[in-house]
Amino acid sequence: MNVETVMQELEALGKERTKKIYVSNGAHEPLFGVATGQMKPIAKKIKINQPLAEQLYATGNYDAMYFAGIIADPKAMTAADFERWMDAAYFYMLSDYVVAVTLAETDIAQEVADRWIASGEELRMSAGWSCYCWLLGNRPDSEFSEDKIAGMLDLVERTIHDAPERAKYAMNQFIYTVGVSYLPLHDKAVETAKAVGPVEVKRDKTKSKHIHALENIQKAVEKNQLGFKRKYVRC
C-alpha cells in the first residue's frame, strides 16, 4: 500500500461524530475522524513500514499522523527524527499518544524524554513525562535508576503547580504511574501525591478542574493493581 491508498482507506472510515470529539480535544483540519480501533485491519496488512509512516506523518492529517505511529519502526528512528515529529505534533494527542508512545519503544527513550522535560515547552514537557509513564508501565523495574525516578518525583512536587497545562496532566500521571507500576518507589509516590494535593488544570478559557494522583493510586491499590505492566506500549 502507498500513501494515497492508505489515505483513501482512512477517509472511508472517518465519522463526523469522532471528528467532532477530536476537534474538541485540539485537533484541527485536515482530519477524517477515524476511531483508533478501526485502524487495526489496515495496520495488519502493512505491519511495520517506516518510509510509509514518514510520508503519512508529513501529511499533517491527524488520522494519518496517528496511523503513522502504529506502523512506524521506532528502532529505525534517531533522536533527530523524534525532534522532527515533535515539531509537527501540534496538540497533546499527537505529542503524548503518538510521539511519546513511539519513543518509548527505543533505546534512546530516556535521554530524549529528559531533554524534552527540561525544555520548558508545553508539549515537549508533556511528551517527555508521558514517555516515562509508557516506559514505567511496560519495562521491568530493574531498567530504571531508583535515584533518578525519585529525583523526578521531587521535581514534580516542586514544579507541577506552575507547569504548563498539558505538562500538569502528564506530571500528575507520572506520580500515579510510579505509584502503581514502579514498586521500589510506591511509598514515595504516595507521599509525593499527598504533598502535591489536587492540581488545577484549565480545560478551556473558562472551565477548570482538579486532578489528584493520590485518589487514582488508592483505587489501584484497592483493585490489587500494584506492579501492573503492559505487555505492549503500542496498540
Establish if 158 belongs to a structural domain: yes
Q: Are 134 and 104 in contact (CB under 8 A)?
A: yes
| Reported pTM | 0.95
Assigned domain for 26 exists: no
Tell me: the pLDDT tens digits for 3-30? 999 999 999 999 999 999 999 999 999 9
Measured CA to CA in angstroms, residue 92 lies from 10, 72, 124, 130, 147 at distances of 21, 19, 9, 10, 28
Q: How far apart, in whole angstroms, are the C-alpha atoms of residue 138 and residue 128?
A: 16
pLDDT at residue 200 above 70?
Answer: yes
| pLDDT value for 234 | 79
- Residue 233 pLDDT exceeds 90: no
**Which residues form the domain of 228?**
110-235
Residue 76 has pLDDT above 90, yes or no: yes
Q: Packing angle between helix 3-13 and helix 62-71, nearest 10 degrees?
A: 120
pLDDT the model gives residue 207? 83
- How many domains does the structure of the chain reveal? 1
> pLDDT-based confidence at 224, cuts 50/70/90?
very high
HEC sequence for the chain? CCHHHHHHHHHHHCCHHHHHHHHHCCCCCCCCCCCHHHHHHHHHHHCCCHHHHHHHHCCCCHHHHHHHHHHCCHHHCCHHHHHHHHHHCCCHHHHHHHHHHHHCCCCCHHHHHHHHHCCCCHHHHHHHHHHHHHHHCCCCHHHCCHHHHHHHHHHHHHHHHHCCHHHHHHHHHHHHHHHHHCHHHHHHHHHHHHHHCCEEEECCCCCEEEECHHHHHHHHHHCCCCCCCCCCCCC
Q: Which residue has the higher pLDDT, 147 or 1?
A: 147
Q: Is residue 167 part of a domain?
A: yes
Does 139 reside within a domain? yes
pLDDT at 166 over 70: yes
The confidence band for 206, taking pLDDT boundaries of 50, 70 and 90, is low
pLDDT at 188 > cutoff 70? yes
Residue 135 belongs to some domain of the structure = yes
Would you state the pLDDT for residue 205?
66
Confidence band, pLDDT 50/70/90 cuts, at residue 95:
very high
- Does some domain include residue 24? no
Q: Tell me the pLDDT tens digit for each residue of 109-150.
A: 999 999 999 999 999 999 999 999 999 999 999 999 999 999
The whole-number pLDDT of residue 55 equals: 98
Q: What is the pLDDT of residue 144?
A: 98
The residue-averaged pLDDT of 54-81 equals 98
